Amino acid sequence: MKLTRRDALTYSAGAIAMALVGLRGVSAHAGTEETGTAVSGFTGGVEPQSGMITLKAPEIAENGNTVPVSISVDSPMTADDYVESVAIFAEGNPNPEVVVFNFTPLSGEAAATTRMRLAKTQNVVAVAKTSTGKVFMDKREVKVTIGGCGG
């Protein structure tokens, strides 16, 4: 690619815009605490363990309007031992709650996929509650890009 002076200007303007967005991102951690409150509200105060639950989301989302997200929990899904519900939270959204999936033994598996809105780059958290009172959590950072064209 040949680089004209104009190209250079365009790109560096873009880079500055990115840098500005980055700065804004650093200062906006207000959601972490609120998310913690929301999580303990969901778990009834039980401290989540890691493992058993897998949260799948893109590392980089091309648009924050529609970000595919999947969860699956390792569970026998029998009447005696099944995943009751999985809640998804987004730390950097205006409100952390995204969705609560409620399963039954008839679900067969504790797995679901949806599409969510992410206001900016942030952590997405999934918390599972089993019928036996166990709580598991997984967390993943999703980078949300802004379009090149003002978008």
Within 13 Å of residue 4, how many CA atoms lie on the same side as its CB?
3
Closest separation in Å from C-beta 143 to other proteins:
9
Q: Which residue of 60, 76, 81, 132 would you call a contact of other proteins, by CB under 8 A?
A: 60
Contact 89, 53 (CB under 8 A): no
Compare residues 2 and 50 and give the one whose CB is closer to other proteins: 2
Residue 14 is a binding residue for other proteins (CB under 8 A): yes
The residue within the footprint of other proteins, chosen from 53, 98, 128, 135 (CB under 8 A), is 98
Give the bridge partners for 86, in sequence order.
101, 128
Which residue has 């996929």 as its token pair?
A: 113
Work out whether 147 is an interface residue with other proteins (CB under 8 A): yes
Query: 23: part of which helix (H) or strand (E)?
Result: helix 5-27
Are 103 and 82 contacting, i.e. CB atoms less than 8 angstroms apart? yes
* Cβ 55 vs Cβ 68: under 8 Å: no
Candidates 31, 55, 103, 128; binder of other proteins (CB under 8 A) is 103
Residues that bind other proteins (CB under 8 A): 1-3, 6-8, 10-12, 14-20, 22, 58, 60-63, 65-68, 70, 77, 90, 93-95, 97-109, 111-118, 145-151
